[in-house]
Chain A
Amino acid sequence: MSVTGLGPAPSMPGDVDLVAQPEGRQGLLRALWHSANGRVGLVLAGVVVAAAIVASFGGTPYDPQFQNAAALLQHPTWSHPFGTDQFGRDILSLVLDGLGVSLEIACLAVAIAGVIGTIAGVVAGFLGRWTSAVIMRVTDMMFAIPAILLALIVVAALGAGWLNSAIAIGVGYIPIFVRVVRGPVLALRESGYVSAGRVLGFSRRRLLFRHILPNVSGILAVQTSLALAWSVLAEASLSFLGLGPPPPTASLGEMVSQAGSLAATAWWTLAFPSVAIIVAVIGFNLLGDGLRDAIDPRTRKR
């Protein structure tokens, strides 16, 4: 077994297989591409990320907020492939912009959850005893509240907005990262090379940051991808309820909400933002699945 980031770490009895990773980035990508889920996920997530980047650099066909009074609720045409909404705005531009905003919020939310959750998980797993007990009881308490409800509570307390949405979603996902990270760290703590490091007098910091943390990066990558999918959906849900970033910030959930009353007469106002949410969610979910397949040696060897 080789362990990413550790160099030629000796294989010892008790080493943990679950953190094994394919060799190098190319190996990971190859393994990812060989998984059907990974392939589809990579393509869909790539499309979503590309769309978001295009929108961020102003590459939308029209100014997403431009209201054309002469083009209210137009069917999809060559000039407006996704049609226009009740304000005469180009839906394709809005969807691209909305994807960009959704991804920005989702990335920040996952960063918040990932950083706090990973630190808490590593500390709980590595230090154990009362530190672990305290962290895990707090995590249990947060787990008792559904993540979307927790997000709603946070937004209700902080107010609606871009940053607050990200914080709300991030807070809701912290306990999942704590749990996901703590398990492997508990196992790694008892592994042979960590014990060897301890015998050699390595400091706790060195053991944590150079020998344990790099070995949970694979699991973190999987979890990050799955969390991104959930965050995109959570952001859309908050916006749907009017608790997301306020206009003129484009938001897919808000578009779906606005289009609700128009579904029967202008299907395109509802269909395209919904499809964008679905593609983003499926893409990141499958990517996460693919990563898990690629990292899991049992799946990879078959």
Chain B
Amino acid sequence: MRHRNVLRGVIVLAASLGLAGALCSSVGAAPRVQARHSSSPSTFVVASTSGVQKLDPDVVTNFVDFQTLGLVYDQLVRYNKELQFVPDLARSWAFSKGNRAITFQLRRGVIFDDGSSFTSANVVASLNRVLAPKTGDASASYLSAVKSIVANGPYSVTLVLSRPDSSILSGLTSVNLSMLSTKAIAAGTVATAPDGTGPFAFSSWSPNNYLVLNANPHYWGGKVTQASVKVEAIPTEQSIASAIEANTVQLGLLTEPEVAKTLTGYKVQKVLDLSYRALMLQDKTGPLANVNNRRALECAINRKQIVADSVFGQGQVVGPVPVGPFASRPVSAICPNTNIVAAKRYLKAAGDPSGFSFTAITSVALDPTSSAQAIAAQSELAQAGIKMNIQNLAGDAYIQDWLKGTFQAAFAWNGADPDPYTMYGRYFGKGADLGVPAGYSSPVLQNLLLAGDESSSLTAQQKDYSELSAKLTGNAVWVWLFTSYDYAVVGHGVHGFSFFPSLTDSLQTLSSTSVS
């Protein structure tokens, strides 16, 4: 009897340890098995915590969608590693008519995956598709100044502008303004069967799970060294690290510095990426409709502490414009640093001296650091009497709520750009494509954005965009938090990969990456 009891105790102990172990070790094993079974040995596997959600390059908003479709599609212009414009499908460009027209000379000998040649007709069709309201392009505002798109011949296109538009080139670097096949547009297959001119051609896709690409044999940029690339979702960064160690993943895209740190012996490329974290606020209803409540929120949040807690200090506190010649200085017009006294003063002015409560959404699947940001902010806001409830959502649920604006506040990870109009024209400009998730709108912001975009003088632009930053933070439209590093962990034997800061181009060197 005693032996049986002891044996039973040992079994229960082993089972419990096993269960707890399984709980603790996350889900590392499962994705590894999946990767091993679903990839051929020659497939180069790129892992990210989120999977590709949509295939239409004009409507994507998810970071990994940008990165992956950036391998299939080309744009007219792209950023290099130093964030300078370099030719892509346009060999050269020139402004004319007092900056009211820009003419592109196109690359010759470029072939789409469907076998058709790239010409000015593709530029006209692609950009008209962007402008068509029914497309729902997330970045149509990048072309808000475009009056007409005129083909000057098979390899020359002019964009006629209604006003000078200094941000036009930066807008044209986005995946949202990719060059599409006219056949695919006519057939209505853009959202289901990507057909581009990039180094890789679409092969297969399982939404939110994986996407497989094959080398494009006709790529105009030269021979593509990888026969096949699979972009796979592995739900946690620890699991990605395990997969790298098991050599079932060749490139891991990480955001958590503590995970990257564990991969000793691997090459970790770190870039201060073109993105920023912000607490986006909806100002139409509830306590956040009151500007003073939003200001209280902005003053109560300790951004430096959020950087310390969520990315272990590996980031920079920023204002609305994080990088470039128009970077926001100071980061906030009302509270560059935490100021609980000021927060309480604003609460009193709002008529809520004892504080208020609201709910903020996060998605660990889309931004693994968002939960830590929220927990840190929750504690700080409580000091001012502001109660923030946290609701963590799955990646696609978060994106749906975000696009519909059905949230009070959202911890968001948004793409950035050195050009403020490119960043905020689509949120706060006239007819903004993302005006719904942006919440706040005002003619003052629209005019400032327009003035900065039209100006050809750097000094005048700096003045306009500095005022834009001041208005955005002064009205606590959102609370801008920080920008941080992205990490690309390169597996053993992988050569030639270089991680780029711009989302669209971040994986572009995969075409010349080799595995020994």
Contact = CB atoms under 8 A, between A and B. Distances in A.
A40 B2 CA distance: 13
Given A36-B2, A72-B308, A86-B372, A278 B12 contact: no
B238 A281 contact: no
B16 A281 contact: yes
Interface stretch (B172-180, B373-381, B447-455): B373-381
A67 B26 CA distance: 26
A12 B278 CA distance: 75
B309 A260 contact: no
B398 to A, nearest CB: 11
Given A261-B238, A261-B259, A282 B391 contact: no
B309 A72 contact: yes
A285 interface: yes
A265 B258 CA distance: 8
Nearest to B12: A285
A37 B8 contact: yes
A67 B310 CA distance: 13
A209 interface: no
Nearest to A240: B23
Contacts of B378: 247-248
Contacts of A129: none
A260 B26 contact: yes
Contacts of A160: 391-392
Which of A160, A242, A281 has the most C-beta atoms of chain B within 10 angstroms of its own C-beta?
A242
Contact of A40 (B9, B259, B374): B9
Given A274-B20, A278-B16, A87 B9 contact: no
A86 B312 contact: yes
A289 B12 contact: yes
Interface residues of B, number: 42
Nearest to B304: A69
A277 B20 contact: yes
Contacts of A299: 1
B261 to A, nearest CB: 7
Which of A72, A233, A253, A278 has the most C-beta atoms of chain B within 10 angstroms of its own C-beta?
A278
B262 interface: yes
A270 interface: yes
A237 interface: yes
A114 B19 CA distance: 24
A5 interface: no
Contacts of A72: 308-309
B364 A87 contact: no
A286 interface: yes
B236 interface: yes
A263 B389 CA distance: 27
Contacts of B376: 67, 87
Contact of A282 (B5, B13, B24, B375): B13
Q: Classify the secondary structure of A's interface with B.
A: helix
A246 interface: yes
Nearest to B380: A67
A242 B371 contact: yes
Contacts of B379: 65-67, 87, 248
A265 B371 CA distance: 19
Given A247-B390, A281-B19, A36 B5 contact: yes
B33 interface: no
Nearest to B236: A260
Contacts of A293: 5
Interface residues of A, number: 42
B5 A35 contact: yes
Nearest to A38: B5
A284 B13 CA distance: 12
B309 A286 contact: no
Given A72-B308, A242-B371, A261 B20 contact: no
Contacts of A270: 24
Contacts of A246: 389-392
B305 A69 contact: yes
A153 B305 CA distance: 36
A286 B308 contact: no
Contact of B8 (A65, A87, A277, A289): A289
A265 B5 contact: no
A36 B6 contact: yes
Contacts of A261: 236-238, 256, 258-259, 368
A69 B308 contact: yes
Nearest to B5: A36
Contacts of A285: 12, 16
A247 B378 CA distance: 8
B17 interface: yes
A36 B6 CA distance: 7
B377 to A, nearest CB: 10
Given A160-B391, A236-B23, A282-B12, A264 B372 contact: no
A123 B26 CA distance: 42
Which of B2, B5, B368 has the most C-beta atoms of chain A within 10 angstroms of its own C-beta?
B5
A87 B375 contact: yes
B374 A247 contact: yes
A133 to B, nearest CB: 34
A270 B20 CA distance: 11
A262 interface: yes
A37 B392 contact: no
B162 to A, nearest CB: 47
Contacts of B23: 233, 236-237, 240, 253, 256, 274, 277
Interface string A216-247: 00000000000000000100110010100011
Given A261-B237, A278-B16, A285-B16, 12 more contacts: A36-B6, A37-B9, A67-B309, A67-B376, A69-B308, A86-B372, A236-B23, A237-B23, A260-B26, A261-B238, A264-B262, A277-B23
28 contacts: A36-B2, A37-B9, A40-B9, A72-B309, A86-B309, A159-B391, A160-B392, A233-B19, A240-B23, A242-B392, A247-B375, A256-B24, A258-B371, A260-B26, A261-B236, A261-B238, A261-B256, A261-B258, A264-B258, A265-B262, A274-B20, A274-B24, A277-B20, A278-B17, A285-B12, A289-B5, A289-B12, A302-B1
Interface of B: 1-2, 5-6, 8-9, 12-13, 16-17, 19-20, 23-24, 26, 236-238, 256, 258-259, 261-262, 305, 308-309, 312, 364, 368, 371-372, 374-376, 378-380, 382, 389-392
The 3 closest A-B pairs by CB, nearest first: A264-B262, A36-B5, A242-B392
